[in-house]
Structure 1
């Protein structure tokens, strides 16, 4: 049994419209920058809907998994499958680390005390804010590492990303995309699709690990809430995709980074 607070809040019917609206807002924010937005959803689950840290991570992971399953076919339509299969070694290299990282991250999360997990989540939000700014304000180039060094670095990067994604309940695209561009020199569009290919099995491993913990029951207690917020997230993501480029990145990215930093401060104080 985890050391975390095992309280399983069941949102009231009145909160369901708010769940859809907040999911839509998160999806729209993510869609405008080409990401799922799960890192913005996590503080809402804790601060607005009252989930304990581990419960929020598990619910966020379930939502992220559904969003990735919906997004993957759309990405495959935008980027030909032949183009992705040309980079199959990239996916295998990262998965060699991310699958292990996902299991390790989920294992650490369920064993952490609640106060510690809040602090870890706060630190990871700062990391996500930094990655967001770096990815959208800097022209990323390839590090051009030699074969053996690239393989080792890819596994290490995959492991770290797997840990972060499992601990926060996110898909990890915010970190996977820049890693794929920097390490392997893949263009950003193809890197976005490759990140989903890596994310899906990585998330399934983390999900499997969480399912072995007593706190996993939070999903059974909040099925309707989860589905409604997922529906809002998908609707918002579609809207955000249509609004892509309407707000310049030089305006949008600092605002989103600031939201993450403010959320990190509140998360740390929540501990």
Structure 2
């Protein structure tokens, strides 16, 4: 519901709960979070198409292609990196990324976003690099990456934030599938098969909450909601940084 109230899926808030409340180890939590995020994005995409038409999105196909050129590689690289990482290191990395998400949240929702005036060739190169970085972050945390994709699309391509939200889903979906495929090749992926009932229950809650949060969009002023959510992420980062096992 928290994610839905700001137009996101809520995976960044789900991850610390999987670790701190439900007791999953870092890698298991990332894999479960990725699976849940994938279902939430698949559910959200048709809903977004009702507000931003497929025709409007197709006009920006080059933007999605530019970002995907980097994000697909980043997702594979990020998942590979996580699978090779020590557990204690992964906790610290996740904590640092929580701080990054808090900063991106404030940037996207609490400050006016302009656009960078970049030459076409430079914009393509920056888009690929940004997509790669976003793909790495999304794979590492098991999130869709909308928190980073939306401001990137607005700043690089001068697209309004509403359309950027829908474009971010189009970029997120194949990016998540690549990371999911990489995780499925590792023995740690068994955690998903061992916890299917739990995963299904939490997916149901996530989808319901995201839809409910969408209905409550604007009910709480951003000047109140965004700082509260940023503080939640920062507290989660502190807790994650203290995990050692």
When normalised by structure 2's length, the TM-score is 0.99
Aligned position for 1:18: none
Distance 2:13 2:115 in 1: 29
Distance 1:221 1:110 in 2: 19
Aligned position for 1:132: 105
Given the alignment of the two structures, is residue 256 of structure 1 paired with residue 229 of structure 2, yes or no? Answer: yes
Q: Secondary structure at the match of 2:242?
A: helix
Aligned position for 2:160: 187
Given the alignment of the two structures, is residue 144 of structure 1 paired with residue 143 of structure 2, yes or no? Answer: no
Gaps (5+ residues) in structure 2?
A: none
Distance 1:212 1:144 in 2: 42
Given the alignment of the two structures, is residue 36 of structure 1 paired with residue 14 of structure 2, yes or no? Answer: no
What is the aligned residue count? 244
C-alpha distance after superposition, 1:154-212 (max 9, x if no partner): 00000000000000000000000000000000000100000000000000000000001
Structural RMSD (CA): 0.5
Counterparts of 1:38-77 in structure 2, within 5 Å, are 38-77=11-50
2:181 counterpart (208, 226, 233): 208
Counterparts of 1:1-271 in structure 2, within 5 Å, are 28-271=1-244
Distance 1:144 1:183 in 2: 8
Distance 2:3 2:27 in 1: 23
Distance 1:168 1:216 in 2: 15
C-alpha distance after superposition, 1:57-82 (max 9, x if no partner): 00000000000000001111110111
Distance 1:231 1:268 in 2: 29
C-alpha distance after superposition, 1:117-164 (max 9, x if no partner): 000000000000000011111110110210110000000000000000
Q: Deviating runs (4+, > 2 A) in structure 1? A: none
